[in-house]
Amino acid sequence: MIEDNAVTDDDHKLAELMAADEVCHACQPIRYCSSDEIEYQYITLRYGDKKDLSVFALDISDTVRAALDLFALYLAVRQTQFELETFHPDLLNNLVFSMNACTLLRPEGKHFIDQLGQHFKQPMSMLIPSLYLTPGEASNPATKAMLERLEDRFHKVCFDVHLPISDLEYLTPFDPQMIKISNSLDSQDEKRALLPVIRYIKRRKATLVAGRVTSQNTLSQYKMLGAKFYFGYVSDVPIPVHFKGFEDPKAEMRKKQRERAKAEQFADQQIEAQNQLAQEQAERDQQQALLDASIDNMYQSAKTEFVDEEIEAIVRQVEE
């Protein structure tokens, strides 16, 4: 899906990273604010030598972003399935992963969820999607049915709120029980942006999960605001968790197709460059020919005609 729909340069870069199996999850504990005990694990897609670069920071198209959402869900299912086969379920933490609602409103998103639900029911029941839902998507009649399917298949649904936002009432029809925000609280603007969210959470008696907590001062502020859970570099560095992606029987064929397409594109560029050079040389030759002709004309017009009267007389006599 990523290869076939790559549009931007970063789309193509991501396709190469995926083909090389260079994209994986980074896992970070979500802890209780009161005791620092681990309750959940937050996972997000990363790449790079240290797996510390977010794929979602790339300039990727909407279709590729949707494909990444589904890939993140697939890896979460794979990780949970592995843990269920290795450890006792009571020892496991539920995994929280980010998901855009627009991805699940697409036909391929709905189909993907249904297929996973048929084959991986137990691991899906231990996952918590952190759903980013815009006001426009919330008004879509299909959204409520989509949320109901998620609640049936997953452990619970968390709502991911992107700041700044002035009103969260569009979430009310979905009865949000858990809301996640990521705000460093480093500036007064960030703190003010948080006020409408905190008011809404308190009014709804929802659970607040604070992300991107980088200092004890930020953690203390979130505790004062009523956060129940937190995660961030203040306590834990994300740890890469690598699970091999989809087994694609046509992967080698796709690789050869990409290489052939690049070779053909390079050959076409070379031919175009050679044609351009030939055209430019022809234009230069034509200009030089015109210049040479102009110089000859100037020389002929400037040359003094030589006249020998005796020779002319001899020529006339011969002709007579």
Rounded Cα gap, residues 31 and 44, in angstroms: 17
Same domain, 51 and 121: yes
pLDDT at 164: 86
> Would the pLDDT of 246 be above 70?
no
Share of the chain above pLDDT 70, in %: 85
Q: pLDDT tens digits, residue range 230-242?
A: 999 888 888 888 7
Report if residue 252 sits inside a domain: no
pLDDT at 239: 87
Q: 252: pLDDT confidence band, cut at 50, 70 and 90?
A: low
What is the token pair recorded at 43?
């996972």
Number of independent structural domains in the chain: 2
Question: 280 or 214: which carries more pLDDT confidence?
Answer: 214
Which of the listed ranges 76-90, 138-152, 187-201, 293-307 does the model predict with the highest average pLDDT? 138-152
Same domain, 105 and 202: yes
Report if residue 4 sits inside a domain: no
Same domain, 302 and 218: no
Structural domain harbouring 288: 258-319
- Given 206, 222, 246, the domain boundary residue is 246
Same domain, 183 and 304: no
Q: pLDDT tens digits, residue range 174-207?
A: 999 999 999 888 888 888 888 899 999 999 999 9
Q: pLDDT tens digits, residue range 24-62?
A: 888 999 999 999 999 999 999 898 888 878 888 888 888
Rounded Cα gap, residues 293 and 188, in angstroms: 78
Same domain, 225 and 262: no
Question: 209 or 9: which carries more pLDDT confidence?
Answer: 209
Q: 311: pLDDT confidence band, cut at 50, 70 and 90?
A: low
Packed helices 141-153 and 107-119: angle between N→C axes, nearest 10 degrees: 20
Same domain, 282 and 201: no
Same domain, 136 and 284: no
Average of per-residue pLDDT across 292-301: 65
pLDDT at 245: 46
- Given 199, 222, 246, the domain boundary residue is 246
Report if residue 3 sits inside a domain: no
Torsion of CA 207, 110, 138, 96, to 10 degrees: 20
Residue/partner pairs of 83-88 with CB below 8 Å, 24 or more apart: 84/122, 84/123, 84/126
Closest by CA to 201, choosing from 209, 213, 193, is: 209
For all residues of the chain together, what is the average pLDDT? 85
What is the token pair recorded at 53?
């670069």
| Model confidence, pTM | 0.74
Same domain, 201 and 232: yes
Same domain, 281 and 304: yes
Share of the chain above pLDDT 90, in %: 45
Same domain, 112 and 236: yes
Average of per-residue pLDDT across 135-140: 94
Report if residue 251 sits inside a domain: no
Q: What's the per-residue H, E or C state across the chain?
A: CCCCCCCCHHHHHHHHHHHCCCCEEEEEEEEECCCCCEEEEEEEEEECCCCCEEHHHCCCCHHHHHHHHHHHHHHHHHHHHHHHHHCCHHHCCEEEEEEEHHHHHCHHHHHHHHHHHHHCHHHHCCEEEEEECCHHHHCCHHHHHHHHHHHHHCCCCEEEECCCCCCCHHHHHHCCCEEEEECCCCCHHHHHHHHHHHHHHHHHCCEEEEECCCCHHHHHHHHHCCCCEECCCCCCCCEEECCCCCCCCCHHHHHHHHHHHHHHHHHHHHHHHHHHHHHHHHHHHHHHHHHHHHHHHHHHHHCCCCCCHHHHHHHHHHHC
> Would the pLDDT of 248 be above 80?
no
Question: 46 or 244: which carries more pLDDT confidence?
Answer: 46
Same domain, 278 and 234: no
Rounded Cα gap, residues 277 and 318, in angstroms: 58
